[in-house]
Amino acid sequence: MIKKSIALILMILLCTMAFSKKEIVFWNAWGGDEGKVLEDMIEEYNNLQDEVVVRSVFAPIGMGEKIMATLSGNTVPDVITVWDWMVVPLGFRGQILPLNEMLAKAGIDEEYYINGVWDYGFYKGRKYGLPTTLNVTAFMWNKGAFEEVGLDPETPPKNIEELDAYTEKLMKYRKNGKLKRLGFDPVISHIYCYVFGGKLWDPETGEITANDPGNIRAYEWLSSYYEKYDVKQKRIFQAGWGDVFSPLNPFLRGEVAMKEGSQWEILVAQKFAKPDFDYGISYFPAPEGGREDVCNVSGSFWVIPSASKNQEEAFEFMKWLTAPKQSAHFAAALYNIPPVKDALNDPAFTQIIDDKMQVYIDLLTNGYVYTFPMLPIGQTYLSEMTQALADVQLGNKTAKEALDYVQDRITEELSNY
């Protein structure tokens, strides 16, 4: 009798243990409304399967302190959100898992992702994370301003020469000499490195190519803007610009006629632009011999800490989060683009596609996709390139000297890794 009861109790215990769900911890990097979208998706996942319960913890995305501190300990979450440039430093240091095997087992490969996106997150053959959503940059122009100065509003500049000429035409000044409208101001300098036919690195070999002739030409062109137009005036003018995500967006207010813009700025225009404001999106104008379809991609990643005790389950969850349906849903909420091919056709995403968003999608699927080199030294390469440009602009170095310097320095630093 007693034996039977004990057996029964043991059986019940075993059954409950077998059915008890594993808990995996997910760091939700988004707050506000976007965070809520993700929370809802997590709830959905918890409801539709029985093996795992996902517990979400708020962890703001930029916080290197929290990420590095937590990963140095033993109690780690199972899936965390990081910026793309954090992926390789963490991966290189062995703090996050390479996903190659699990991806292969799940049958996910290059075909699953949009052209060029599969390499995103790789370093020396290991893929360290999955992109959450993509941020794509293209060229925007103010049609009304074009018309005002006698340019065809439907035709953006076709090449660099036209860009320079249009910029000159579109600069507008007040009676007291102060700026009223900027024609164009290049900000993301590395885009132009690629536009001029250069590149920042060789993704296959991982070699740095800072002083590629195309980059040098780009830097010379960039500094020409510095020489042609009064920098101080420009900066003062820009200081008065409002936030991008506000009715005071300078582009929407006609304070700058042409600029680089990401796809979520379509949302900004929808919300804040005046009804008669008309603008267009196109590819970046390129010089002869350059690239006419440069597509800069950036974004955030989901990664699995190496010390996670639930790696398989974490990967399953990540896989679900980046499946076409979920990917489309989340990307649409952020007004970003999903990285996964099939998501582009999912109704959750197609509902936000208009003619402008279509340009971004075309650029992404057909263009020359590049991301800023993801290296173990984090943002060092980017800050060196920025400093190099400043040196050229201030006249301390020629473009070639500045970029040669970066080449030597970064190559030397990388040799330690």
Partner 1 sequence: MTKINKSRKTTVYIVAVLLSLLFIFPFLWMVSTSFKTQDQIFDAPMELLPNPFVTDAYRELFTETDFSRYFLNTIFVTGMTLLGVLTSSSIVAFGFSYFKFPAKEALFKVLLATMMLPAQVTMIPQYMLFDKLGWVGSFKPLIIPTFFGGTWVIFLLRQFFDTVPKEYAEAAKMDGANELKIFFRIYLPLAKAPVATAALFVFLWTWTDFLNPLIYLHDDKMYTLSIALHRIASGTHYPNWPVLMGGSLLMALPIIILFFTSQKTFINGATISGIKG
Partner 2 sequence: MNEYTLKVRKRTFKRESVLGVIFISPWIAGFLIFTLFPVLYSLYLSFTMTGEGGHLKWIGLDNYLRAFGERDFWLSIKNTLILSGIGIPIAQIMALMAAILLNVRMKYQGLFRTIFFLPSVVPAVATGLLWKWILNPRLGPINGFLEELGFSGPGWLIDPAWIKPSLILMSFWGIGGTMVIYLAGLQNIPDELYEAAELDGANSRQRLKSITLPMLRPVTLFNTIMGIITSFQSFTQVIIMLDMDGGIEKSGLVYGLYIYTNAFRDFKMGYASALSWVLLIITAVSIAITMKVFKDRDK
Does the footprint of partner 1 cover residue 236 (CB under 8 A)?
Answer: no
- Based on CB atoms, which residue is closest to partner 1, 58 or 173? 58
If binding is defined by CB under 8 A, does position 192 make contact with partner 1?
Answer: no
Determine the Cα–Cα distance for residues 139 and 280; give it in Å rounded to an integer: 8
What burial letters (b/e) apply to 357-383, b meaning 16+ CB within 10 Å? bebbbebbbebbbbbbbbbbbbeebbe
And the tokens for 317? Answer: 């969850």
What does the per-residue mask of binding to partner 1 show for 242-271, with x meaning CB under 8 A?
A: xxxxxxx---------------x---x---
Does 120 bind partner 1 (CB under 8 A)? Our answer is no
Query: 21 with 53: CB under 8 angstroms?
Result: yes
Q: Decide: is 396 part of the binding site for partner 2 (CB under 8 A).
A: no
Q: Which two tokens stand for residue 117?
A: 């996106």
What gap in Å lies between CA 179 and CA 173, rounded to an integer? 4
Distance CA 296, CA 282 (A): 13
How far apart CA 307 and CA 120 sit, in angstroms, is 23
Give 133 or 326: the residue with its C-beta nearer to partner 1: 133
- The SS3 of residue 81 is strand
CA distance 402 to 384: 9
Is 308 one of the binding residues for partner 2 (CB under 8 A)?
no
Q: Residue 147: which residues within 8 A CB-CB, separation 6 or more?
A: 153
Task: Say how many C-beta atoms besides its own lie within 10 A of residue 347's C-beta.
Answer: 10
Count of all residues that appear for the chain in the document: 417
Out of 345, 394, 408, 411, which residue is the one contacting partner 2 (CB under 8 A)? 394
**Type and span of the H or E element at 369:** strand 368-370
Q: Is 319 left (phi over 0), alpha (psi -120 to 50) or beta?
A: alpha
Nearer Cβ to partner 2 (85/118)? 85
* The entry of partner 2, partner 1, none that residue 416 binds, CB within 5 to 8 Å by partner kind: partner 2
Binding string, residues 77-116; x marks residues near partner 2 by CB under 8 A: ---------x--xx-xxxx---------------------
Is residue 331 near partner 1 by the rule CB under 8 A?
Answer: no
Task: Name which of partner 1, partner 2, none residue 237 binds, using a CB cut-off of 5 to 8 Å depending on partner kind.
Answer: partner 2
Size of the site for partner 1 (CB under 8 A): 33
Q: Long-range contacts: 218-222, Cβ < 8 Å, 24+?
A: 218/189, 218/192, 218/193, 219/189, 219/193, 219/388, 219/389, 219/392, 219/399, 219/402, 219/403, 220/392, 220/399, 221/160, 221/192, 221/196, 221/287, 222/186, 222/189, 222/192, 222/389, 222/392, 222/393
Q: Is 273 exposed, middle or buried (0-12, 13-18, 19+ CB in 10 A)?
A: middle
Least distance from C-beta 24 to partner 2, angstroms?
Answer: 23
Q: Considering the complex, what minimum distance in angstroms separates the CB of residue 240 from partner 2?
A: 3
Nearer CB in complex with partner 2: 163/377:
377
Stretch that binds partner 1, among 29-37, 138-146, 182-190, 225-233 (CB under 8 A): 29-37
Site for partner 2 in 232-271 (CB under 8 A): 232, 235-240
By CB under 8 A, the residues from 160 to 199 that bind partner 2 are none
Among 312, 379, 404, 414, binds partner 2 (CB under 8 A): 379
| Contacted entry of partner 1, partner 2, none for residue 244, CB cut-off 5 to 8 Å set by kind | partner 1
Considering only residues 9-68, where is the footprint of partner 2 by CB under 8 A? 64-65, 68
Do 24 and 78 contact (CB within 8 A), yes or no?
A: yes
Smallest gap from residue 380 Cβ to partner 2 (A): 5
Among 10, 57, 188, 231, binds partner 1 (CB under 8 A): 57
58 binds partner 1 (CB under 8 A): yes
- Alpha carbons 368 and 293: distance in angstroms, whole number: 6
Please select the residue that binds partner 1; options are 47, 74, 205, 415, rule is CB under 8 A.
74
Q: What is the binding site for partner 2 (CB under 8 A)? A: 64-65, 68, 86, 89-90, 92-95, 232, 235-240, 376-380, 383, 386, 390, 394, 416-417
- Footprint on this chain of partner 1 (rule: CB under 8 A): 25, 30-35, 56-60, 63, 65-66, 68-70, 72-75, 77, 242-248, 264, 268, 334
